[in-house]
């Protein structure tokens, strides 16, 4: 048992002048070993994370030195002749914009549905059905992205194409709904829709967790004043759960930003900054890495590391912000 | 003052606020009108197919609900409109997921034959007839890599959780924070890291162990976080009782705390596994893809279910695509097994 | 049926005058329940409660905890049905009409039968003024003069003087007793005929309790109040009539009801006598 070491009473102490005695814990030899092992084991995650970031930085630093900020803004990805560095030019501008565009489309489409699903599960669903549907939601959250990619490619593509065509026909005067050529397959719009489907479970779970903590006594007060179920939701639950919904949406955004395979199988990788989401042009940083790593020479590999670093940092920021925002809901309400 | 009690005959519980037959009929009539209107919409506009009809249906419901506000009390009408919106949002989002499950089964079924699970693709190409070849190499590869990843992750995750909850060391906050950060690492970045370190520097080739390590990076945060939650549920008086009997911290942890949450820890591990079982991107970069059934995880590429799906889909022919669906079916079944396993093994500890 | 002597009589009537009392009471009772039962799932929690609430009076529901008083209260404004497993039987008459009749609009009923809860629950994201006006806002009724209504309700709730200069402050910035009075004002804004109060002072200090009891007394001149209370002394102070509930190894039921003075000084049932004299509770 850990022994307590208690210091001797101070000579200055008296009943009218209490002086605290120091109590420290000393662990026996077996416990010291135990604590040492556990502590070093726990440090592994710290070490791994630092290694990842550090390694990427180390390898990618040269790229940032050579290209500076242009790495982020340039659109061209040219490994050159693979030998002479001067012939190469790397820039992830197009891919970064592509990552953001597809992720934002996913966010815009997924969030209303996630909110609706969370509200449905929490307030509209009969209780016998709720348990079943919650398990279904958990299962759906576990569907791997490669299956979403296959489905998106083989099943959804034709629907997404015809929707894109319809959007272009009726709303083509909006700048981002116009297209350079009437080809609507493999567009960022379709990729965004598939991503939206992937992130709905995440946002729904977080939103639902927050909505379930909405103060029932205030909802009761709304009912007692003659309000309906929707009144209670609109006036109490939604304001209470706003940070939770935003945080959940941002977690989904983080996932969408880093998604590789689903986007890769569905999107046409073209190195051009493209905001016309219905056109068959796009990409994202993750697909870039997957696409290029196979034949990458040493210099190109460093460029890929630098890309990975940028993606890592962006996703990290989004996730931190998300956690902070969700944490705020739990903290503020009494 | 008299007190006359009504004789206590057997009174039946009732729910007069529930839907009466009349109101259920009214709701059905409402939806029938919406259905008719939707058929009309489909005929008039260019919306096609069952999906087009569904869109027309939702639109009609919304419009009808909105019109209802002129006949009934506004609060009730708004409530009805909101109910329609929310329920249809939920129904709508179910459709693609049902489609995924349905497609996987329907399109993957033709790929199954007697030898599908026991043959590899060494002598068969993806475009050949479906009664040749199989995915044994993919299954074995996935199982091997998941096992290695578990062996790395589960002890480390539980150790980290013990550090945070039991030891409460100085760095507990940092470890939690970093575990959180790690859960946000994109899977391709984990693969890239392992590629640059293990594949290039250590093994000089693709390797199953490298793949397992990439999966471990992705699995570790889930296991740590779930294990931490489970350990926190252990009441302090249990530990206090153990210390009061003179046990050391090590003994308390191993003999008292951990056994009491064993099923929860199993759930944590299996859920972590389910999360990474389908990861493709890191495996593409670390273990590559190989068509032969092999158990060599040290050197050389190795097949796995996700990469099998990915590469057969890439071949493009109808047979190849069907094989991809077959692989998707097997992968989904694997994840389902893991899920059900997690629930039944640890179900009692984790309540909903 | 338990009949309640009305306010017009000053002494308890003898048996042969009860017939006229019954008819008088029936005419002047704002609410009446007949044969009320309540269940949660299979759990029978309340049995055969028939009670009248005379207009413009205060009726206290007393009895030990767990005997179904709060459940009974929630049956009076159709809040009981929000619990998923809830079921009931019997009738509740408001102005002669059963509030559970098919086709009855529950929300409208709740506008006529208001409720104040045990724990003060003003809406924290709304100002004091917005809190008071929450009822009309929710039911989307037009208010001719908002300021008048706010002042009127806050005055009747005994809070106007304290907050008239800070109507824009948030509801959560008030003390517990003030918050509860704000909730009373909020309930008054929709002009209910009946006000139900579920142990409104149990979370408050004695000073606030006293102020609220004074408020109840003033309000009862213009509305019918039903108050559930654990505190017998409070029941004795504040109510005109009392109904004593008890649960003896089974569903809660009504033992006795009548003028407060009679219940406390000369109850008919021994169990009532035991309870009010503090021999159990």
What local confidence, expressed as pLDDT, does residue C182 receive?
94
- Give the tokens for residue C33: 């329940």
Among candidates B141, B109, B121, which has minimal Cα distance to B311?
B121
Q: Which of A13, A33, A67 finishes a domain?
A: A67
Report helix, strand or coil for B222: helix
Asked if A140 and A172 sit in the same domain, the reply is: yes
CA of A233: which chain C residue's CA is closest? C138
Q: Which residue's structure tokens are 């859920």?
A: B271
C40: which strand partners? C43, C86
Residue numbers in C near B74 (CB within 8 A): 140
Asked if A22 and A166 sit in the same domain, the reply is: no
- Asked if C2 reaches chain B (Cβ–Cβ under 8 Å), the answer is yes
What local confidence, expressed as pLDDT, does residue B44 receive?
74
Average pLDDT, integer, range B277-303 = 88
Cβ pair A144:B175 closer than 8 A: no
The CATH number of B136-346 is which of 1.10.3720.10, 2.40.50.100, 3.40.50.300, 3.30.70.890? 1.10.3720.10
Q: Each residue of B319-340: pLDDT tens digit?
A: 889 999 999 999 999 999 998 8
Among candidates A289, A220, A295, A239, which has minimal Cα distance to A261?
A289
Taking each helix axis from N to C terminus, what angle separates A29-67 and B172-182, rounded to the nearest 10 degrees?
50
Please answer whether residues A76 and A91 qualify as being in contact, where contact means their C-beta atoms are separated by less than 8 angstroms.
yes
Q: Give the mutation candidate from B249, B283, B316, B350 for the A interface (greatest A CB count, under 10 A).
A: B249
Q: Each residue of A70-122: pLDDT tens digit?
A: 888 888 888 877 677 777 888 888 888 889 999 999 999 999 999 999 999 99
Asked if A132 and A15 sit in the same domain, the reply is: no
pLDDT at B3 over 70: no
How far is it, in rounded angstroms, from Cα C219 to Cα A282? 70
Q: Look up residue A15 and give its DSSP letter.
A: T
Does some domain include residue A72? no
Cβ pair B280:A112 closer than 8 A: no
How far is it, in rounded angstroms, from Cα A63 to Cα A43? 30
SS3 sequence, A154-217? HHHHHHHHHHHHHHHHHHCCCHHHCCCCCCCCCCHHHHHHHHHHHHHHHHHHHHHHHHCCCCHH
Q: How many domains does chain A have?
A: 2
Tell me the torsion sign for CA atoms A252, A254, A260, A263: positive
- Give the tokens for residue A188: 């960022």
Counting DSSP H helices and E strands in chain C, the numbers are 12, 10
Name residues 246-275 of chain B within 8 A of A (Cβ). Answer: 246-250, 253, 274-275
How far is it, in rounded angstroms, from Cα B32 to Cα C74? 37
With a CB cutoff of 8 Å and minimum separation 6, the contacts of A108 are none
Q: Give the mutation candidate from B224, B281, B317, B340 for the A interface (greatest A CB count, under 10 A).
A: B281
Asked if A94 and A60 sit in the same domain, the reply is: no
pLDDT at B98 over 90: yes
How far is it, in rounded angstroms, from Cα B316 to Cα B234? 53
Domain boundaries, chain C: 15-276
Give the domain CATH number at A227: 1.10.3720.10
Enter the CATH code of domain C15-276. Answer: 3.40.50.300
Asked if A317 and A220 sit in the same domain, the reply is: yes
How far is it, in rounded angstroms, from Cα C89 to Cα C106? 16
Q: Look up residue A120 and give its DSSP letter.
A: I
Longest Cα separation, chain A: 92
Please answer whether residues B39 and B56 qualify as being in contact, where contact means their C-beta atoms are separated by less than 8 angstroms.
yes
Asked if A50 and A120 sit in the same domain, the reply is: no
Domain boundaries, chain B: 24-110, 136-346
What local confidence, expressed as pLDDT, does residue C19 receive?
43
Asked if A320 and A206 sit in the same domain, the reply is: yes
- Give the tokens for residue C138: 């929710």
Asked if A134 and A277 sit in the same domain, the reply is: yes
Output phi, psi for B68, to 5 deg.
-60, -25
Whole domain around residue A183: which residue ranges?
90-332
pLDDT at A230 over 80: yes
How far is it, in rounded angstroms, from Cα A288 to Cα A292? 6
pTM: 0.85
Q: Look up residue C2 and give its DSSP letter.
A: B
Burial class (CB within 10 angstroms; exposed 0-12, middle 13-18, buried 19+) of A148: buried
Q: Are strands C252-259 and C241-246 parallel, antiparallel or unpaired?
A: antiparallel
**pLDDT average per 10 residues of sequence, chain C (281 residues):** 46 42 56 92 91 93 90 93 88 91 87 94 91 90 88 92 90 89 94 94 90 92 93 92 90 92 90 86 67
Q: For chain C, list the contacting chains (3+ Cβ pairs, <8 Å).
A: A, B
Average pLDDT, integer, range A212-222 = 92
Asked if A236 and A267 sit in the same domain, the reply is: yes
Torsion of CA A37, A43, A45, A50, to 10 degrees: -150
Cβ pair A225:C111 closer than 8 A: yes
What local confidence, expressed as pLDDT, does residue B351 receive?
39
Asked if A275 and A326 sit in the same domain, the reply is: yes
Please answer whether residues A65 and A81 qualify as being in contact, where contact means their C-beta atoms are separated by less than 8 angstroms.
no
What local confidence, expressed as pLDDT, does residue C2 receive?
56
ipTM of the complex: 0.86
- Give the tokens for residue B82: 């909101």
Q: How many residues does chain B have?
A: 352
- Give the tokens for residue A127: 């209780």
Residue numbers in B near A138 (CB within 8 A): 339
Centroid of chain to Cα A263: 15
Asked if A97 and A9 sit in the same domain, the reply is: no
Burial C211-233 (b: 16+ CB within 10 A, else e): bbbebbeebbeebbbbbbbbebe
Please answer whether residues A219 and C122 qualify as being in contact, where contact means their C-beta atoms are separated by less than 8 angstroms.
no
Burial class (CB within 10 angstroms; exposed 0-12, middle 13-18, buried 19+) of A17: exposed
Q: How many residues does chain A have?
A: 334
Q: Each residue of C95-130: pLDDT tens digit?
A: 889 999 887 888 889 999 999 999 999 998 889 999
């Amino acid at each position: 048992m850990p022994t307590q070491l208690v210091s001797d009473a101070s000579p200055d102490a008296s009943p009218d002048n209490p002086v605290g005695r120091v109590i420290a814990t000393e662990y026996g030899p077996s416990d010291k070993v135990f604590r040492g092992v556990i502590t070093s084991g726990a440090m592994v995650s710290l070490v791994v994370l630092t290694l990842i970031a550090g390694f990427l930085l180390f390898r990618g630093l040269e790229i940032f030195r050579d290209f500076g900020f242009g790495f982020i803004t340039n659109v061209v990805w040219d490994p050159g002749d693979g030998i002479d560095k001067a012939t190469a030019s790397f820039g992830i501008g197009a891919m970064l914009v592509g990552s953001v565009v597809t992720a934002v489309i996913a966010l815009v489409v997924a969030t209303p549905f996630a909110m609706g699903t969370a509200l449905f599960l929490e307030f509209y669903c009969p209780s016998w059905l709720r348990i079943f549907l919650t398990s279904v939601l958990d299962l759906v959250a576990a569907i791997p992205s490669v299956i979403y990619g296959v489905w998106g490619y083989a099943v959804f593509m034709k629907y997404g194409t015809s929707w894109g065509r319809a959007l272009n026909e009726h709303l083509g005067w909006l700048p981002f709904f116009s297209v350079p050529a009437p080809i609507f397959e493999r567009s960022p719009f379709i990729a965004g829709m598939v991503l939206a489907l992937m992130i709905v479970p995440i946002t729904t779970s977080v939103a639902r967790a927050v909505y379930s903590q909405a103060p029932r006594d205030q909802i009761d007060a709304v009912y007692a004043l003659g309000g309906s179920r929707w009144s209670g939701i609109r006036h109490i639950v939604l304001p209470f759960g706003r940070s939770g919904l935003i945080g959940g949406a941002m977690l989904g955004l983080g996932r969408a930003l880093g998604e590789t395979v689903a986007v890769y199988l569905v999107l046409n990788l073209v190195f051009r900054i493209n905001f016309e989401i219905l056109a068959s042009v796009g990409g994202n940083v993750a697909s870039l890495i997957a696409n290029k790593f196979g034949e990458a020479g040493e210099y190109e590999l460093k460029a890929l590391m630098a890309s990975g670093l940028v993606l890592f940092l962006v996703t990290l920021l989004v996730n931190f912000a998300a956690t902070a925002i969700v944490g705020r809901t739990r903290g503020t309400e009494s | 003052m008299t007190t006359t009690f009504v004789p206590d005959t057997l009174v039946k519980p009732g729910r007069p606020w529930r839907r009466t037959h009349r109101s259920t009929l009214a709701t059905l009539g409402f939806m029938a009108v919406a259905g008719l209107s939707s058929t009309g919409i489909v005929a008039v506009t260019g919306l096609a197919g069952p999906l087009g009809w569904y869109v027309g249906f939702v639109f009609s419901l919304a419009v009808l609900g909105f019109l209802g506000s002129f006949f009934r009390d506004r609060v009730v009408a708004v409530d009805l409109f909101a109910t329609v919106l929310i329920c249809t949002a939920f129904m709508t989002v179910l459709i693609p997921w049902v489609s995924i499950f349905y497609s996987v089964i329907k399109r993957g079924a033709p790929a199954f034959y007697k030898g599908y699970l026991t043959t590899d693709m060494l002598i068969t190409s993806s475009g050949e007839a479906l009664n040749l070849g199989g995915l044994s190499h993919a299954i074995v590869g996935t199982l091997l890599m998941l096992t290695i990843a578990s062996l790395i992750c589960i002890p480390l995750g539980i150790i980290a959780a013990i550090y945070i909850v039991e030891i409460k060391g100085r760095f507990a906050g940092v470890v939690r924070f970093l575990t959180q950060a790690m859960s946000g690492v994109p899977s391709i970045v984990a693969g890239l890291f392992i590629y640059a370190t293990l594949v290039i520097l250590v093994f000089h080739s693709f390797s199953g162990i490298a793949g397992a390590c990439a999966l471990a990076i992705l699995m570790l945060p889930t296991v740590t976080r779930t294990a931490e939650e489970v350990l926190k549920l252990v009441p302090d008086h249990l530990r206090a009782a153990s210390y009061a009997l003179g046990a050391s911290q090590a003994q308390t942890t191993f003999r008292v705390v951990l056994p009491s949450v064993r099923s929860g820890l199993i759930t944590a591990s299996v859920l972590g596994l389910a999360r990474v079982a389908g990861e493709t991107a890191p495996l593409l970069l670390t273990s590559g893809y190989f068509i032969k059934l092999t158990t060599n995880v040290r050197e050389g590429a190795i097949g796995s279910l996700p990469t099998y799906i990915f590469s057969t889909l890439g071949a493009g022919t109808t047979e190849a695509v069907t094989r991809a669906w077959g692989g998707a079916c097997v992968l989904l079944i694997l994840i389902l097994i893991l899920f059900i396993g997690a629930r039944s093994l640890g179900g009692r500890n984790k309540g909903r | 049926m338990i009949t309640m002597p009305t306010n017009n009589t000053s002494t308890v009537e003898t048996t042969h005058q009860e017939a006229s009392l019954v008819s008088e009471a029936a005419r002047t009772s704002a609410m009446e329940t007949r044969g009320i039962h309540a269940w949660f799932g299979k759990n029978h929690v309340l049995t055969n409660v028939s009670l009248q609430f005379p207009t413009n009076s205060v009726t206290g529901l007393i009895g030990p905890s767990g005997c179904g008083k709060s459940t009974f209260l929630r049956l009076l404004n159709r809040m009981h049905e929000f619990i998923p497993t809830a079921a009931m039987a019997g009738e509740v008459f408001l102005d002669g009409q059963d509030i559970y009749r098919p086709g009855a609009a529950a929300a409208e009923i709740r506008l006529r039968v208001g409720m104040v809860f045990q724990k003060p629950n003003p809406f924290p994201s709304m100002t004091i003024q917005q809190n008071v006006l929450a009822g009309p806002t929710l039911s989307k009724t037009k208010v001719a003069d908002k300021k008048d209504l706010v002042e009127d309700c806050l005055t009747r709730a005994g809070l106007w003087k304290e907050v008239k200069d800070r109507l824009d402050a948030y509801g959560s910035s008030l003390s517990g007793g003030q918050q509860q009075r704000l909730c009373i004002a909020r309930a008054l804004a929709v002009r209910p005929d009946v006000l139900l109060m579920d142990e409104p002072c149990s979370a408050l200090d004695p000073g606030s309790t006293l102020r609220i009891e004074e408020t109840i007394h003033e309000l009862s001149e213009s509305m019918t109040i039903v108050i559930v209370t654990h505190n017998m002394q409070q029941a004795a102070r504040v109510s005109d009539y009392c109904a004593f509930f008890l649960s003896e190894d089974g569903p809660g039921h009504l033992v006795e009801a009548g003028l407060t003075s009679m219940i406390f000084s000369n109850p008919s049932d021994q169990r009532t006598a035991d309870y009010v004299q503090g021999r159990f509770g």
